[in-house]
């Protein structure tokens, strides 16, 4: 199989190293990693299964290598390319460029034992970060706005810079939590508030992803055992938790992704909140924060052992509140195991 990659995580998966200026070529039994001199030392130290080529014009060099190889077909993922770069690669080549959307994601959908171990550590480190955030909020989080709370989340997740973040954390209070991807505001935290936190960190480049929604009491913690004063919020919370738990409990290898999505959607719809569940039940997690499989009502993907994905049902009532509970699971011996 002959293919070309430019996405950093796709390249890292192939050779254990990548940079923000690189091309990976797989031509039959030969592999080439092209980058510039800024990354020469690290690339040559880290890469063992590809020839490392240091070039000023990566596209021109890749074009020459492809031409010299005399291959007839080259696979590429159109999502990785802009028109300018792709035209430079194609220039003068009389070969078939075969599109394969999500080429690398499809290769990475089943995690190896090593990957599962790394993802498990990443998820556990993420959970510990939530514990650190809890301590920060207990100590000086009251009366702080969402900007300050988001900064606290970043500090807790990164462990003061030791880890990269999987994505920009979501920290939302009360009605702001009704926006699934809420941006921080100057809304300030007080006792009795609903607080939603969606955050994750990276361990050895592999992401974690976790969401908790809590009632801010004197003894609060980021567990799933939460009690709210308002009956409507409590009903919504209990519904989301039931959907979350049932989907994890009933997921089996061999099911279609849309069947798992249906478990959460049916529970939330039966409770009268169906129109307020506005996103899919989950998504795969790995080197990218969003990978295959996608646990959605439209996905026919067959769930298999080795897949890692989130279960994250939610209810979002505009201008009132939002609730989401999320954990990462791995399919092991036919069942979903929380990482």
Q: Can you give the three-state secondary structure of 199-261, one letter per residue?
A: ECEEECCEECCEEEEEECCCCCCCCCCCCCCCHHHHHHHHHHHHHHHHHHHHCECCCEHHHHH
CB neighbour class for 131 (10 Å; exposed up to 12, middle 13-18, buried from 19): exposed
Matching CATH number, 3-107, of 2.60.40.10, 3.40.350.10, 3.30.465.10, 3.40.1410.10: 3.40.350.10
Consecutive H or E run containing 63: helix 58-69
Instruction: At 10, list the tokens.
Output: 């796709």
d(CA 47, CA 33): 8
Whether a cis peptide bond, with omega within 30° of 0, leads into 181 is: no
Question: What does the domain layout of the chain look like in residue ranges?
Answer: 3-107, 113-338
Q: Is 42 in a helix, a strand, or coil?
A: helix
CATH class for the domain made up of 113-338: alpha beta
For residue range 133-190, what is the model confidence (pLDDT) as tens digits? 999 999 999 999 999 999 999 999 999 889 999 999 999 999 999 999 999 999 999 9
CB neighbour class for 68 (10 Å; exposed up to 12, middle 13-18, buried from 19): exposed
For residue range 45-57, what is the model confidence (pLDDT) as tens digits? 999 999 999 999 9
Q: Is 1 within 8 Å of 17 (Cβ atoms)? A: no
For residue range 233-275, what is the model confidence (pLDDT) as tens digits? 999 999 999 999 999 999 999 999 999 999 999 999 999 999 9
d(CA 259, CA 108): 22
d(CA 308, CA 337): 9
For residue range 286-311, what is the model confidence (pLDDT) as tens digits? 999 999 999 999 999 999 999 999 99
> Rounded to an integer, what is the distance from CA 307 to the centroid of its chain?
13
- The model carries a pTM of 0.94
Length of the chain: 339
């Amino acid at each position: 199989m002959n293919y070309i990659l430019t996405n950093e995580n796709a390249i890292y998966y192939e050779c254990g190293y990548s940079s923000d200026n690189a091309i990976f070529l797989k031509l039959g039994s030969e592999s080439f990693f092209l980058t510039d001199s800024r990354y020469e030392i690290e690339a040559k130290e880290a890469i063992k299964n590809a020839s490392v080529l240091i070039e000023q014009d990566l596209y021109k060099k890749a074009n020459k290598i492809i031409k010299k190889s005399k291959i007839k077909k080259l696979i590429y993922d159109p999502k990785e390319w802009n028109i300018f770069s792709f035209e430079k690669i194609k220039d003068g080549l009389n070969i078939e460029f075969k599109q394969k959307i999500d080429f690398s994601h499809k290769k990475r959908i089943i995690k190896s034992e090593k990957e599962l171990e790394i993802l498990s550590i990443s998820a556990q480190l993420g959970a510990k970060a939530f514990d650190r955030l809890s301590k920060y909020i207990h100590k000086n989080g009251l009366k702080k706005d969402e900007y300050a709370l988001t900064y606290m989340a970043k500090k807790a997740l990164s462990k003061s810079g030791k880890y990269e973040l999987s994505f920009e954390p979501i920290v939302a209070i009360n009605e702001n939590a009704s926006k699934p991807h809420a941006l921080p505001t100057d809304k300030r935290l007080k006792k009795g508030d609903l607080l939603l936190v969606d955050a994750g960190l990276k361990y050895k480049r592999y992401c974690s992803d976790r969401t908790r929604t809590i009632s801010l009491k004197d003894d609060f913690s980021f567990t799933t055992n939460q009690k709210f004063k308002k009956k409507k919020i409590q009903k919504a919370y209990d519904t989301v938790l039931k959907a979350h738990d049932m989907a994890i409990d009933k997921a089996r290898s061999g099911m279609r992704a849309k069947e798992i999505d249906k478990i959460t959607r049916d529970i939330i719809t039966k409770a009268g909140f169906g129109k307020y569940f506005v996103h899919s039940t989950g998504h795969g997690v790995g080197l990218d924060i969003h990978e295959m499989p996608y646990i959605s009502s439209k996905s026919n993907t067959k769930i298999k052992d080795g897949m890692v994905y989130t279960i994250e049902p939610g209810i979002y009532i505009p201008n009132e509140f939002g609730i989401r509970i999320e954990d990462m699971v791995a399919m092991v011996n036919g069942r979903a195991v929380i990482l």
